[in-house]
Amino acid sequence: MDTCHTMDIKAYLQRVNLTHSKPPSLSALRELHHHHVHSVPTESLSMHSGEKIILDVLWIYDKIVVRRRGGFCYENNGLFLWVLQQLGYHPKILAARVKDPKTGIYGSPFDHMLMTVELEGRRWLCDVGFGEGIIEPFPLEDGWEEEQDNNVFRLRVEEDEWYLERKEEEAWRSLFRFTLEERTFDDFREMCEYHQTSPCSFFVKTTFCSLQLPCARLTYIGHRLISTKYTKGGGSVKTTQELTEEEIPGLLRDKFGIVLSGKLIPKDL
Go through the domains of the chain in sequence order and give each one's CATH number: 9-256 (3.30.2140.20)
- Measured CA to CA, the distance from residue 194 to residue 112 in angstroms comes to 12
The catalytically annotated residue of 33, 112, 192, 209 is 112
Span 56-67, average pLDDT: 97
Span 53-64, average pLDDT: 97
The catalytically annotated residue of 73, 126, 192, 209 is 73
Please check whether residue 138 is in contact with residue 124, taking contact to mean a CB–CB distance below 8 angstroms.
yes
- Measured CA to CA, the distance from residue 169 to residue 160 in angstroms comes to 28
Decide if 73 is catalytic: yes
Nearest to 234 by CA among 151, 164, 174: 151
**Partners of 152 in beta bridges:** 147
Nearest to 210 by CA among 200, 192, 198, 225: 225
CA Rg value for the chain: 18
**Partners of 145 in beta bridges:** 154
Which H or E element spans position 10? helix 9-15
**With 50 as the cut, is the pLDDT of residue 267 above it?**
yes
**Partners of 210 in beta bridges:** 42, 219
Decide if 20 is catalytic: no
Place 5 in a pLDDT band, splitting at 50, 70 and 90. Answer: low
Residue 168, phi then psi, degrees to nearest 5: -130, 115
Q: Report the chain's mean pLDDT, rounded to a whole number.
A: 95
- Measured CA to CA, the distance from residue 20 to residue 242 in angstroms comes to 40
98-127 exposure pattern, b = at least 16 Cβ within 10 A, e = fewer: bbeeeeeebbeebbbbbbbbebeeeebbbb
What share of the chain has pLDDT > 70, as a percent? 98
Model pLDDT for residues 192-235, shown as the tens digit of each residue: 999 999 999 999 999 999 999 999 999 999 999 999 999 887 78
Decide if 149 is catalytic: no
The catalytically annotated residue of 33, 127, 192, 209 is 127
- Measured CA to CA, the distance from residue 164 to residue 176 in angstroms comes to 6
pLDDT for the residue numbered 170: 81
- Measured CA to CA, the distance from residue 134 to residue 148 in angstroms comes to 7
- Residue 231 three-state SS: strand
| pTM of model > 0.75 | yes
